[in-house]
Amino acid sequence: MEPWHTIVLLGAVAVVFAVIMPRKSAPGSDQSSTVRNMETALEQFMENMEADNREMVELVTSAQKEAQEQAKRREERINQLEQRCGELEQSLVNQAKSQPAAEAFAPGNQPAAASHEPEAMPESAIPETAAEEVQEQEAASIRNRYTELFALHDNGKSVEAIAKKLGMNKGEVLLILQLSRQEEESRHE
């Protein structure tokens, strides 16, 4: 409800109250004091509403200023981080250009990403039976990696009990069991 609605409603109540009130034989001081009291009450109410409105405007203004300052600080921080990222990229590019190709791929100077990848062997170096053997070992590797999990599962423990015992998530346990089933099915095909 808007503040002016309240003022109009109070004014209407005052008018109705003045009409309904029985008039006394001496129309002097009683009616005029009542009217003055009503006017005073209305004026005080209006002053209170204006003060509340000013306070709300100040709060909204300060909140907006705070939000703008915070957004400005974040924007500055983003710009600093983007600039730093660009500098780091440039230094990596310069470093890569400055290293000769032989040094870049020396065993001690390999990048971290390359050191984790296994070296690929040509297929001609692996006989067919050995390739099948490697494939079977990879398939059995899930059972080998999670022997305790499969031991508990083979003993009839629930997924929840296995997860609690091994400190894993239920979804993780279910995923491992499902992958194991898929491997067994692919081996039998």
Q: Which two tokens stand for residue 112?
A: 């971290």
pLDDT of residue 120: 47
Which pLDDT value is given to residue 28? 55
Cβ atoms < 10 Å from Cβ of 186: 10
The predicted model scores a pTM of 0.32
Please state, in angstroms and rounded to a whole number, the distance separating the CA atoms of residues 182 and 145: 16
Residue 27 has a pLDDT of 52
What pLDDT is recorded for position 137?
Answer: 58
Give me the average pLDDT of each 10-residue run along the chain (189 residues).
Answer: 82 84 58 86 92 92 94 94 91 79 49 44 52 57 85 92 92 91 82
